[in-house]
A and B are shown apart, each in its own frame.
Chain A
Amino acid sequence: MREIKVIGIGGIGCALVPFLARYLNYRGGRARITLMDGDEFERGNADRQAFGTAGNKAKVKAAEMAREFQGLSFRAVPEYITEENITQYIGDGDTIFLAVDNHKSRKLVSDYCEKLEAVTLISGGNDYTDGNVQIHMREGGRDRTAPITRFHSEIQNPQDRSPAEMSCEELMERGAPQLLFANLAVASAMLNAFYSLCEGKLAYGEVYLDIVEGKSNPVKREGESKR
């Protein structure tokens, strides 16, 4: 069974999951999708995020998807990814969609993925009108594309904190303004990369996009052979 993990069910994750589930449901084959997020959906987030009810984002979205796509298996993990739980939720052979809002969590997941024999990590992030998607593939204990920390010092040496490290007050106050369409563009680029991978046609390791300029730019990110 294909194991897919979606970490972060916010602006990007919320846009990504229904299309990912629809694609997998009708593509055939067995898949289990694990949705992971410690955050609660509140009505105030409804400008960018679609949830039918208030509650933990992973639980609410997993329940919605399970009702709609009965050919797939869904699991909700109502926790943020941390050093303590990462070994429990990420394993060899996983495909991970990383849609978090901080570099600390990106580094945590990336560093762990580098220890695995085989993994596919598709990480997306955006600012207000632009963003990027990085794809780290490992096969047979070797990097086929570069880890997401390589060339990106902001992820290698993150200056921010993960939500698991924040107080309730800090969690309430965090968050720069975001644009729904930037979230959607990044989610779409993550799914485009996944599709290309499934078809054996992925030709880049990172793609940049800007929704105002109407541009995207894929770049190669070689793995170990270039080290």
Chain B
Amino acid sequence: MTEPLKQAPRVRPESPAHTRETVRIIYGVHSLEVNIAGRSVGEVRTQLSQALNIGPRAIAVVDGREVMESTILQGGEVLEFVRMSGEKGAGR
């Protein structure tokens, strides 16, 4: 994980007292809660892309709505970078 986010205080997801100050970030099976309110989606993507292996085409969704990279995150929101679907399952 990159330095700025390493330094951001992490909280336990089940801790309701912090949910208004933190943003929950989801990418596939990964989920973390970080104090990054006030940062843009693009900034978070840049900082987390390597740590979570976020695909460049992954759409950003905040609380169920697709958002632009310039969107500023508010405390209590859920930011998801939508992981691409598994392609196989049948095959030979």
Other-chain contact of B57, A103, A154, A176 (Cβ < 8 Å):
A154
B90 contact from A9, A155, A208, Cβ within 8 A: A9
Minimal Cβ-Cβ distance residue in B for A42: B92
B80 contacts partner chain A, Cβ-Cβ < 8 Å: yes
Is A174 at the interface (CB under 8 A from chain B)?
Answer: yes
Quick one: which of B47-81 are within 8 Å of A by CB? 57, 59, 61, 64-66, 80
With known contacts A151-B61, A209-B29, A101–B91 Cβ distance under 8 A: yes
Residues of B within 8 Å of A106, CB to CB, are 85
A210 B87 Cβ-Cβ under 8 A = no
Interface SS, B side:
loop
Q: How far is the CA of A9 from the CA of B89 in the complex (A)?
A: 9
Let me know if B64 and A127 touch, CB within 8 A.
Answer: no
The reply to whether B29 and A45 contact each other, CB–CB distance below 8 Å, is: no
Find the B residue at minimum CB distance from A10: B90
A84 part of interface (Cβ distance < 8 Å):
no
| Residue B28 lies at the interface, judged by CB distance under 8 Å to chain A | yes
How many of chain A's residues have a CB under 8 angstroms from any CB in B? 53
Q: Which residue of A lies closest to B59 (CB)?
A: A151
In the bound complex, CA of A92 to CA of B42 (Å): 41
* Contact between chains at B59 and A101 (CB < 8 Å): no
CB-CB under 8 A from A134, the residues of chain B are 85
A132 and B90 contact, Cβ closer than 8 Å, known pairs A215-B29, A217-B31, A220-B64 = no
Which residue among A39, A124, A178 has the maximum number of chain B CB atoms within 10 Å of its CB? A178
A125-B88 in contact given A219-B80, A220-B64 (Cβ < 8 Å): yes
Which residues on B sit within 8 Å (CB–CB) of A153? 57, 59
Could you give, for residues 123-139 of chain A, a 1 whenever the CB lies within 8 Å of some chain B CB and a 0 otherwise?
A: 11111001110100000
Residues of B within 8 A of A217 (CB): 26, 28-31
- Give per-residue flags for A107-132: 1 if the beta carbon is below 8 A from chain B beta carbons, else 0: 00000000000000001111100111
User: Is A152 a contact of B85 with CB atoms below 8 Å?
Assistant: yes
Within the complex, the shortest CB–CB distance from B84 to chain A, in Å, comes to: 5
Residues 75 to 118 of chain A near chain B (Cβ within 8 Å): 99-103, 106
Task: Please name 16 further chain A to chain B contacts, defined as beta carbons within 8 Å, in addition to the given A45-B92, A100-B90, sorted by A numbering.
Answer: A99-B90, A100-B89, A125-B85, A151-B59, A151-B66, A152-B59, A154-B57, A155-B85, A160-B87, A210-B29, A213-B29, A215-B30, A216-B29, A217-B26, A217-B29, A219-B26
Identify 6 residue pairs between A and B in the complex whose beta-carbon atoms are under 8 Å apart, listed by A's number: A103-B85, A106-B85, A125-B85, A127-B87, A151-B59, A186-B86
